[in-house]
Amino acid sequence: MHIIDISIPITPDMTVYKDQPDKKPVFKTTRSIEAGDRARETDICLNTHTGTHIDAKSHFLKDGEGISHFPLHHFIGKCRVIDLTSVKEKISENDIRDKEINEGDIILFKTANSLRTKPGFNFDFIYVDKTAAGFLAGKKIKTVGIDSLGIERAQPENETHKTLLSNNIAIIEGLNLAETEEGEYFLCCPPLSLGNLDASPARAVLIKDM
Amino acid sequence: MHIIDISIPITPDMTVYKDQPDKKPVFKTTRSIEAGDRARETDICLNTHTGTHIDAKSHFLKDGEGISHFPLHHFIGKCRVIDLTSVKEKISENDIRDKEINEGDIILFKTANSLRTKPGFNFDFIYVDKTAAGFLAGKKIKTVGIDSLGIERAQPENETHKTLLSNNIAIIEGLNLAETEEGEYFLCCPPLSLGNLDASPARAVLIKDM
């Protein structure tokens, strides 16, 4: 069994959405062996949309449910990584119409985002446009993942988020697929048990040869 | 495939270690559709040892590594739930000597802790004593989990934590095994990618009939 970590490490100086300073995680030591305590403990404070994370319906839908509404099989099960590294600017329906995408699938898009080496937030990240979102909704997939901190930009009405979430499709953002080839895997990416919150950070891994 | 959630929900009023008020998670809304924002977002602040979580070596070992030191196969793979619900006070070597426990195993102990219905922290939780920890270290298991917020109490030298962690055994605390029977499962319980921190909250699930 081979486990591939496709998560972004969570650190106080990690890249955050639009490089906004108030989105940086804060770690605060509360117990320290060096200071004479018997053990070490830390308080962590972070935005629900930090690093590798899952959007709940309530993130963008007025009456949408929180993160624990999605059954866990949206995040644990067979998945397919689709290589779209040749796509420029955005993923449209035309880019995915001929790919193997079926009802109930968990689909992860590997794009040029995963190949970027420049530090800091990429304001020109490859995104999923509304035509692709509509196509995925029509296919009735379960989950879509992408290798950028957002799945959408340049669409003022946020049609991609709204189309996916209102069609019961969970969105995983902030994957790192640099070391992952196109193919079939078993995904393990459960959200924290955060009830009605709008998102959850998650550790995402792919398993090969189970 | 059947997925069983064995995690404790994370909420601001959840039960925390020794009922210490400063250990309660804090959720702060930072963007709200009700307030006119286009989306909802939340900042979450929580102790690394909140609810279902994994202890790193650095939690109790002076020179111990952080949570990302343990390879992910300590948290993802075949595991065995052992029913010890008849055990009183503590799990000792005598209670587990005749159980099937082998090198490289992930072992979860279901105890009377999972059957408790009284709210609040259980100061008399069933724990793993130092003789049992020594036995598990001798067996060279990979990971041990328990259904209490701590794996140890009443041992001022913290021999259980120190024996397990110094023998490369990861500790999962805060499981909820109430609905889980003794047997073989596939565990999926990856920590967040928190680098050198002393622990990580985690979503823990068991998979049956993969």
Q: Enumerate the residues of chain A whose CB falls inside 8 A of the CB of residue B192.
A: 10, 192, 201-203
Q: Give residue B136's identity as a one-letter amino acid code.
A: L
Mean pLDDT of B189-204: 98
Q: Are β-strands A127-128 and A90-91 bridged in parallel, bridged antiparallel, or unpaired?
A: parallel
Position B210 pLDDT exceeds 90: no
pLDDT digits (tens, 9 = 90+) for B22-42: 999 999 999 999 999 999 999
Q: What is the CA radius of gyration of chain A?
A: 17
Size of interface A-B (CB pairs under 8 A): 145
Amino acid identity, residue B206? L
pLDDT tens track for A99-147: 999 999 999 999 999 999 999 999 999 999 999 999 999 999 999 999 9
State whether residue B192 is helix, strand or coil: coil
The per-residue DSSP string of A168-193 comes to: T-EEEE----TT--SEEEEEE-PPP-
Tens-digit pLDDT profile for residues B68-115: 999 999 999 999 999 999 999 999 999 999 999 999 999 999 999 999
Q: Which pLDDT belongs to residue B99?
A: 98
Nearest CB to B193: which of A10, A38, A60?
A10
Report which residue type is found at B41: E
Average pLDDT over every residue of B16-24: 96
A contact residues 82-141, partner B, Cβ 8 Å cutoff: none
Min Cα distance A83 → chain B (Å) is 25
Tokens representing B171?
């500790």
A41 and B199 in contact by Cβ < 8 A?
yes
Interface contact A158, partner B, CB < 8 A:
yes
Q: What is the CATH number of domain B2-11+48-208?
A: 3.50.30.50
A193-210: per-residue pLDDT in tens? 999 999 999 999 999 998
Q: Does B4 touch chain A (CB under 8 A)?
A: no
Phi, psi (rounded to 5 degrees) for A176: -120, 105
- How far apart CA B74 and CA B163 sit, in angstroms, is 17
CB distance B137 to B159 below 8 Å: no
Q: What is the pTM of this model?
A: 0.98
What's the CA dihedral at B147, B148, B150, B154 to 10 degrees?
-120
Q: pLDDT at position A210, please?
A: 87
Tell me the per-residue pLDDT of A77-95, one tens digit each, with 9 for 90 and over.
999 999 999 999 999 999 9
Render pLDDT for A11-70 as a digit per residue (tens, 0 to 9).
999 999 999 999 999 999 999 999 999 999 999 999 999 999 999 999 999 999 999 999
Q: How high is the pLDDT of residue B3?
A: 98
